[in-house]
């Protein structure tokens, strides 16, 4: 019986690929380190983050459900500012919640201590999908930690129908016999992404077993399809206009920007209308050609928007 083909993985060894694929003007990769922060209200559990650059982080990035902090690599490289990218509980290298309760409210309370400890001078908190709702709850519940909020392709109006493409992908197998099998399924469900980008994403978001098979890193219960009675973020089972999270959205007092992907079904015109009704001063941006994961599809365009929103150096 032949030995399984093992694939080497260096967490910090793929940045040159990000730079080359998107032709980024980056002369030198900034220092990047992984840091763990204990969850104060849950002893024994910690949250892992990537700290980019030197100096106090100006931006905090929060990824979507079934993703991890590395989804922001290209944006962080293009931005060139000190930043923090969080692995949400149950994702990446962060510990899983024993109760499996990955609601945006719980996640916001979990990461509040991380932001306070590692990014006390943050200018912008950026969250995508589940991370966007988490960042929204962070702004609502811990307003001193969020001077300005960016929600990437998400509103409280998300439901199962709008997030069907996300659900169909995450509802797939947990284990794959080979990397090629995992890559093939990922390509099938992510038509707006390049194969090289998806390959990097898999290496960051899955792990290989000694027998050569591959498994996703994230806690499967972290996605709404495992608990359809709770609005966990990517596909809460509620009517778009009635979710109580719209009230939390309305309570956000800091400057708020919503960025939509032009070919994403997750945020529709009704969502935008409700967002404007609840937050009349909201800034709405649309990124052409981007699907739900704008940071993966159009990272350079997303970076330009974030640069415009950040204070001038």
- Reported confidence tier of residue 242, pLDDT bands at 50, 70, 90: low
119-163 per-position pLDDT tens digit: 999 999 999 999 999 999 999 999 999 999 999 999 999 998 888
Q: Which domains does the chain have, with CATH numbers?
A: 15-308 (3.40.50.1820)
Beta bridge partners of 175: 215
Would you mind telling me the total number of residues written for the chain in this entry?
313
d(CA 171, CA 140): 31
234: buried, middle or exposed (CB in 10 Å: 19+, 13-18, 0-12)?
A: buried
Measured distance CA(65)–CA(129) in Å, rounded: 7
pTM to 2 decimal places: 0.93
Of 43-47, 77-81, 85-89, 224-228, least confident by mean pLDDT is 224-228
Q: Measured between alpha carbons, how far is 12 from 29 in angstroms, rounded to an integer?
A: 10
CA-to-CA dists, residue 58 to 22, 31, 53, 72, 177, angstroms? 23, 15, 10, 14, 41
28-41: pLDDT as tens digits? 999 999 999 999 99
Per residue in 192-232, pLDDT (tens digit) is 889 999 999 999 999 999 999 999 999 987 765 333 333 33
Cα–Cα dist 66/116, whole Å: 25
**Spatial separation of the C-alpha atoms in residues 129 and 260, rounded to whole Å:** 11
Sequence-distant (6+) residues with CB within 8 A of 173 are 185
C-beta of residue 157 within 8 angstroms of C-beta of residue 274: yes
Which residues are marked as active site?
Answer: 129, 153, 292
Identify the pLDDT of residue 1. 54
Label each residue of 148-161 as H, E or C. Answer: CEEEECCCCCCCCC
Report the distance separating Cα 216 and Cα 208, nearest Å: 9
Mean pLDDT of 283-293: 97
């Amino acid at each position: 019986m032949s030995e399984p083909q093992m694939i080497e993985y260096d967490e910090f060894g793929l940045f040159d690929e990000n730079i080359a694929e998107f032709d980024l003007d980056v002369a030198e990769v900034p220092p990047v380190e992984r840091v763990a922060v204990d969850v104060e209200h849950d002893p024994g559990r910690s949250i892992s983050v990537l700290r980019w650059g030197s100096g106090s982080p100006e931006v905090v990035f929060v990824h979507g459900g079934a993703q991890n902090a590395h989804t922001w690599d290209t944006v962080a490289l293009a931005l060139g500012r000190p930043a923090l990218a969080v692995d949400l509980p149950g994702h990446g290298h962060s510990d899983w919640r024993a109760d499996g309760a990955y609601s945006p409210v719980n996640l916001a309370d979990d990461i509040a201590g991380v932001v306070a400890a590692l990014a006390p001078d943050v200018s912008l908190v950026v969250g995508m999908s589940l991370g966007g709702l988490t960042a929204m709850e962070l702004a609502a519940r811990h307003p001193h930690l969020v001077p300005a909020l960016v929600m990437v392709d998400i509103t409280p109006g998300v439901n199962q129908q709008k997030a069907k493409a996300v659900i169909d992908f995450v509802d797939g197998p947990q284990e794959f016999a080979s990397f090629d099998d995992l890559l093939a399924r990922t390509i099938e469900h992510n038509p707006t992404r390049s194969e090289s980008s998806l390959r990097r994403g898999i290496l960051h978001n899955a792990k290989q077993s000694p027998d050569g098979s591959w498994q996703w890193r994230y806690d499967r219960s972290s996605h709404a399809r495992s608990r359809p009675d709770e609005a966990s973020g990517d596909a809460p089972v509620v009517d778009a206009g009635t979710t109580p999270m719209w009230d939390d959205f309305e309570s956000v007092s800091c400057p708020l920007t919503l960025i939509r992907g032009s070919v994403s079904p997750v945020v529709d015109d009704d969502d935008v209308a409700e967002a404007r009704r609840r937050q009349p001063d909201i800034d709405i941006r649309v990124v052409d050609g981007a699907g739900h994961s704008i940071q993966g599809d159009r990272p350079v365009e997303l970076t330009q928007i974030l640069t415009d929103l950040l204070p001038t150096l």
